[in-house]
Structure 1
Amino acid sequence: MGFNRPSRIQENALPMMLAEPPQNLIAQSQSGTGKTAAFALAMLSRVDTAQKVTQCLCISPTFELAVQTGKVIEQMGKYYPEVKLAYAIRGNRVERGTKIQDHIVIGTPGTVLDWCSKLRFIDPKKIKILVLDEADVMIATQGHQDQSIRIQRMLPTDCQMLLFSATFEESVWKFSERVIPDPNIIKLKREEETLDTIKQYYMVCKRNQDKFTAICNVYGAITIAQAMIFCHTRKTAAWLASQLCREGHQVALLSGEMTVEQRADVIQRFRDGKEKVLVTTNVCARGIDVEQVSIVINFDLPVDKDGKTDNETYLHRIGRTGRFGKKGLAVNMVDSQYSMEVLREIEEHFNKKILKLNPNDPDDLIKLEDIHN
């Protein structure tokens, strides 16, 4: 897989995850640090292929993350073809009365719970290892927290339990302590340090049309492998995608009203490099790993449903670049006094200065090119 040395999370977590007797673990680790490969290895090492029953469960907060994790397991298990994998996700139809024989099942909380209880596709008492990935996202989603707890309660007492979260606010700690008994705890990197490899800038653009012109100027000035642009609403995302297409850019659009299959297709095309720009709403802020993303643009700064600054989402958005210690670039569009205040709150929260750029000044854009290289 191109690994020549373990990342910090792998170095710290693998000895605990592979130890005998199995140990439980709560680990804080940003996405892009290699945690998926670490717990994939732990799951693959626990499978007994002689038993045709599900032995490993991995719960992800979204369909996209579940599929992404599955891809890593398939890649790591390439030379272990006896291990079978199934996806417990919306749209994956399984005949009633079926007993799943796949050794590893990855899915979202609601579907996994149905497979374990209502539909009885899986015997929870046979599970040896449970992984809860992106727990901070999990508990932010209505019902996911309760569903995860209900799944955990069905499992045998000697089942190994691993929980990963990018952040550990009070609510995440409480949830972790409820589902993971007697855990080892690994806390890596405060989130500010994650931002050390990502250069952050802002541009003042009063109207959407000005923002669009600024994006074109940035695009003209620097060599971009792939870019992700985050918008607040589906309407803005659709408008921007069509404007960029008109300019001749290869653009993909991702938003919440798409079907699961459509979203998977868009992400795969973007991963394969068929489109160079992904315009998206927050549906894509977390956990989508695309190694070639070299710039993230916040067309709209992230705020929650009450209009308050959403630092968490900001971190996850710009964390799509600067993966695995590489250099990254984030450009924020400021269109009002209100969004200027949001930007200042983000600066204060992460204790990082975000520098101003003039989108119409070629000298400023040359600075961007120097940094980008």
Structure 2
Amino acid sequence: MSSVKVDWGKYAEEQEKLASQVTALSIEREIATNNVADSKRDNGAEEQISPAEKSLLQKIIRKGLVETTKDIEVQRKDPSSPLYSIKSFEALHLKAELLRGVYAMGFNAPSKIQETALPTLLADPPQNMIAQSQSGTGKTAAFVLAMLSRVDSSKPYPQVLCLSPTYELAVQTGEVASKMSQFCPEINMKYAVRGEEIQRGTKIEDHIIIGTPGKVLDWAIKFKFFDLNKIIVFVLDEADVMIATQGHQDQCIRIHKSLPRTCQMMFFSATYEAAVMEFAEIIVPNPLIIRLLREEESLDNIKQYYVRCKNIDEKYTAITNIYGVITIGQAIIFCHTRKTASWLADNMTKDGHAVAILSGDLTVQQRIEVLDRFRNGLEKVLITTNVLARGIDVEQVTIVVNFDLPMDQNRKADCETYLHRIGRTGRFGKSGIAINLVDSEQSMQLCKTIEEHFGKKIHYLDAEDADEIEKIGA
């Protein structure tokens, strides 16, 4: 591939370009917000959550590695140079205490992205990297291991800087770093996030700083608590979320401008869109680029059904009939509005079912607690709006119910959201069940449109026939 180069003389031009991108993004965000507000007025639809919150929820639900069969694509400046991969953590020749920390976290063997990324991240001389993969594939552990490996604990000043877009995401990274370095008490780490205050005139002696762009900018440039010119490793995590957060691009560029040219740059993102790569080209000179190729979600191992209902009460009866007949590991029920989700949760709780509800009116911390409880099996049913439609894999989920079929803002069938919703079941190669509750001619038309779009039959199910219900769970 052609190498990615940064013309340092064009920084002003690049910053102007980024400023216009940020402006465009903020306009798009405002339009999206207005569209959502209009949609809510029309039909009570769920409001959107921010990219940062969505990323955090995915990290929470994907604790531990999600095994993936996806292939990796590697792009590099010199295709003829050898590319190393490893099959065990011992092959990395880590410090014994770090290796012990890795195993203590439950990592027995490297994940796909770690196999390729770690030898490069730990190589001498240091190499820059851009890596893209979904939450749960091990990229955080990969760059944290590289961060910890580069620290010289005899030098009492910050040598590693890791930026995350929000307080919560920074803390998530910090927790991984703390666990991995639990047998390395000589390595000190500090959060540069809201609520952390330092007395003026202080010099930070911790080796690693994990923080948000605004706070890091204040500490380094405004108050000079530490010297950016002494940083040897710079990690930009959740780059796609960073781009979607107003002002963060500019702050990252300003921080990056003060780093030494010899600093190792690591850029991590869950997506690989044009805007992300344009940003990456400014931050990361001559990188090795690792992409986890997309694995299209398939409906092949998901049995799809629809149930005819006259009203919301018949929908509820259908759910209780199904739940009473077939053995369900865990279920996710999608509703169109918070009001419906709340009504359903109240009724199922009264009938003795252990249910959790996840919607946009919960705080970030409350959402984390709900997801933790569901992932750990404390509740068998999760009732949610579109907050959870994408990216959440729970192995025990065997059934997804569309209490309301997904619609776009024009009240047409939203096939993409349907795919992401029912893709919550049938994961990890197992079979799953998707049941769609149809209570009007409009929702029947939505169902037919979805069926035609995917070319997969959605079978009729009589929810009052116990024998028929029992067959689908066989």
In the superposition, the TM-score normalised over structure 2's length comes to 0.60
Q: How does 1:299-338 map to 2 (within 5 A)?
A: 325=428, 327=430, 329=432, 331=434, 333=436, 337=442
- Within the candidate set 70, 79, 83, 2:183 is matched to 79
User: One-letter code of the match for 2:137?
Assistant: T
Shift of 1:79: 2.3
Structure 1 residues 169 and 75: CA distance shift in structure 2, 3 A: same
Residue 146 of structure 1: how far off its partner (Å): 3.6
Counterpart of 1:188 in structure 2 is 292
Match of 1:161, SS?
Answer: strand
Q: Distance in 2 between matches of 1:135 and 1:241?
A: 36
Q: 1:338 to 1:37 in 2, by over 3 A?
A: farther
In the TM superposition, 1:16-55 aligns within 5 A as 16-55=120-159
CA distance in structure 1 between the aligned counterparts of 2:345 and 2:277, rounded to whole angstroms = 39
**Aligned-residue identity in percent:** 58
Query: Which whole-Å deviations, capped at 9, do the CAs of 1:274-315 have from their partners, x for residues lacking one?
Result: 444444455566777866666665656677878898888778
SS in 2 for 1:75: helix
Name the CA shift for 1:42/1:150 in 2 (closer, same or farther; >3 Å). Answer: same
RMSD between superposed Cα atoms in Å: 4.3
1:244 aligns with 2:324: no
Query: Within 5 A, what are the aligned runs for 1:1-373?
Result: 1-90=105-194, 92-97=195-200, 99-118=203-222, 122-192=226-296, 195=298, 199=302, 201=304, 203=306, 209=313, 212-217=316-321, 219-220=323-324, 223-229=327-333, 231=335, 233-281=337-385, 325=428, 327=430, 329=432, 331=434, 333=436, 337=442, 353=456, 355-356=458-459, 358=461, 360=463, 362=466, 365-366=469-470, 369-370=473-474
Against the structure 1 CA distance between its residues 51 and 136, is the aligned structure 2 distance closer, same or farther, given a 3 Å change threshold? same
TM-score computed with the length of structure 1 as normaliser: 0.73
Q: Given that residues 211 and 333 in structure 1 are in contact (C-alpha distance below 8 angstroms), is that contact kept between their aligned partners in structure 2?
A: no
**CA–CA separation in structure 2 for the residues paired with 1:100 and 1:309:** 55
Question: Residues 163, 127 of structure 1: CA spacing in aligned structure 2 closer, same or farther, 3 A cutoff?
Answer: same
Deviation at 1:77, TM superposition (A): 2.4
Contact 2:402 2:437 in 1 (8 A): no
- Residues 196-224 of structure 1: CA deviation (Å, up to 9, x unaligned): 89747464677655555555455445555
Shift of 1:181: 1.9
Residues 302 and 341 of structure 1, relative CA distance in 2, 3 Å threshold: closer
Q: Which moved more, 1:59-68 or 1:179-188?
A: 59-68
Q: CA deviation at 1:9?
A: 0.9
1:184 is displaced (CA, Å) by 0.8
Per-residue Cα deviation, 1:242-290 (whole angstroms, up to 9, x for no partner): 3333333333444444444444444444455444444445556677786
Q: Secondary structure at the match of 1:191?
A: coil
- State the aligned residue count: 365
Q: Distance in 2 between matches of 1:342 and 1:115?
A: 55
Separation (CA, whole Å) in 1 of partners of 2:182 and 2:151: 14
Cα 1:9–1:142 shift into 2, 3 Å = same
Q: Tell me how far apart the structure 1 counterparts of residues 229 and 198 of structure 2 sit (CA, whole Å).
A: 21
Query: 1:44, 1:213 → 2: CA distance?
Result: 55
2:260 maps to a residue whose letter is P
In structure 2, relative to structure 1, the CA distance for the partners of 1:250 and 1:102 (3 Å cut) is farther
Task: Provide the rounded CA distance (Å) in 1 between the counterparts of 2:252 and 2:435.
Answer: 35
Matched letter for residue 125 of structure 2: P
Q: 1:24 & 1:8 partners in 2: Cα distance?
A: 19
> What do the CA deviations read for 1:59-80 (whole angstroms, capped 9, x no partner)?
3445554443333333322322
CA contact (8 A) 2:111 2:137 kept: yes
Distance 1:342 1:62 in 2: 39
> For the residues of structure 2 that align with 1:131 and 1:342, how far apart are their CA atoms?
45
Q: Distance in 1 between matches of 2:245 and 2:452?
A: 26
Distance, in Å, in 2 between the alignment partners of 1:308 and 1:148 is 40
Listed as ranges, the gaps of 5+ residues in structure 2 are 1-104
Once the two structures are superposed, what CA deviation does each residue of 1:89-148 show, in whole Å capped at 9, x if it has no partner?
44x343453555443344444444444445655543333323333333333344444444
Query: For the residues of structure 1 that align with 2:429 and 2:127, how far apart are their CA atoms?
Result: 32
TM-aligned CA deviation for residue 43 of structure 1: 1.8
Q: Is the 8 A contact 1:298 1:332 kept in 2?
A: yes
